[in-house]
Structures are given as C-alpha cells and as structure tokens.
Amino acid sequence: MDNTLRIYAIVRGDLQMTSGKCSAQSGHAYVNSLLEALKQNPNIIQEYMPDGIGTKVCLVAKNEAELRFAHYRAKERKLPCSLIIDSGHVMPPFFDGNPIVTALGIGPCTRDQVDFIIGKFNLL
C-alpha cells in the first residue's frame, strides 16, 4: 500500500491547449485543490509536503463530460477537489472569451483513494 499523498491535475485533451496554456491550467488545478484540502485539514501541508516539495501528477481526459464525472465522483467521496473554469481568454477556436472548463484538481490524496476515479486517464 502506497501512502504517498499526491495532487492530480486532469486536463481536457479535446481543447488542443498549447503546452503553456495546459501548464497554467494544471497549475491552477494543483493550487486550488490544495487550498480546498486546507479547508478540510489545516495540517495537510505537513502531510503532503514533509520535505517541502509534494508530488503532482498530470493526466488527460478526453472531454468535458469525463472531467465533470471525475469531479462528481471526487466530491461524492469527499476528496479535496477543484474544477477549473477559464474565462476571459481568447485563443481560438476553443477559447473565445466565454467561461470554459479546462481542468480538475484532486488531492492531496493517496493513489488508493483516487484510483477508481483516475484509473482510465492517461499521463499527459
């Protein structure tokens, strides 16, 4: 059993984001999920980052429906999570200034806690 805490960022593969855009959305997912975790457990930082770093994993979902379902399942299990909605940015054809779901952060949690949600996603 692996008790390592990780934060998982799942980004939408269908948006054809540039590597910079994808990195930014993953970063938002990591940070926002950690902030949600802090609300549940103020000591999570010591558990997640005992050496000052913390493990992060980036995965890719096929589309928004997969991302929203993963979000639903994470919330159902009361795992810290954050759905990232980008707004105001223009980068045709998908980013036209309207709000758009881009990523999901889950964790910090162990692989055992989240495997049933992330098992079908591939590494980015």
- 6-123 maps to which CATH number? 3.40.1490.10
pLDDT tens per residue, range 90-105: 788 888 889 999 999 9
User: Which pTM does this prediction carry?
Assistant: 0.94
From CA 106, how far away is CA 31, in angstroms rounded? 10
Question: pLDDT below 50 — which residues of the chain?
Answer: none
Calculate the dihedral angle through the C-alpha atoms of 120, 58, 54, 4, rounding to the nearest 10 degrees. Answer: 10
Q: What are the structure tokens assigned to 51, written together?
A: 């050496």
- Where are the extended beta strands (E) located within the chain? 6-12, 55-61, 81-86, 90-91, 95-96, 100-109, 122-123
Q: Which residue from 100, 84, 72, 87 is spatially nearest to 16, judged by alpha carbons? A: 100
**Residue 117: helix, strand or coil by DSSP?**
helix
pLDDT score, position 53:
84
How would you class 15 by CB atoms within 10 Å of its CB: exposed for 0-12, middle for 13-18, buried for 19 or more?
buried
- Residue 37's identity, in one-letter code, is A
